Amino acid sequence: MKYFRVHTADMAWITKQPRGLFTAIGKLVDAKTLTEEEEKEYWKNREYFEKVLPVPPFYEQGNPDGAITWFKDTPQGNDIFRQMTFYRAMAEKYGLKLYISECEELPGTVIYEDDFQIAVKDQREDVKIIVSELMM
């Protein structure tokens, strides 16, 4: 199976991996970068995605294993990513260059899985991960 994740170039301190799209836009909100209207739209989108995309339970403990999530290249994983238009638009507007990492095998030890995504810890060094700029 193919897996993919969309991220920025900056490294997250917990995971030591590139910061994912949800977190990257959340950081713009924390920094008060978005307009008032955009921030309202952010919270509306966040509420929606937290309803339709399961939040892995390890986040409640602060992600102690430093896990990262990868979308599955399946109808469900691809559909949920297609719906993330607000996040991609905010990245583009505020100059966050996005990248997509793709691999054909499990990129690490799976600690969570649902219909849309996997979460892995201990990313494998021997996995071929292709990283390219995400074209908007």
Residue type, 103: C
DSSP secondary-structure letter at 97?
Answer: -
The two tokens of residue 76 are: 């469900």
3-state secondary structure of 103: strand
Q: What is the pLDDT of residues 14-46, one digit of tens each?
A: 999 999 999 999 999 999 999 999 999 999 999
Task: Give the bridge partners for 88, in sequence order.
Answer: none
Q: How many Å is the Cα radius of gyration of the chain?
A: 14
Quote the CA–CA distance of 41 and 11 in Å, as a whole number. 26
Q: What is the pLDDT of residues 107-128, one digit of tens each?
A: 999 999 999 999 999 999 999 9
Question: Do 2 and 73 contact (CB within 8 A), yes or no?
Answer: yes
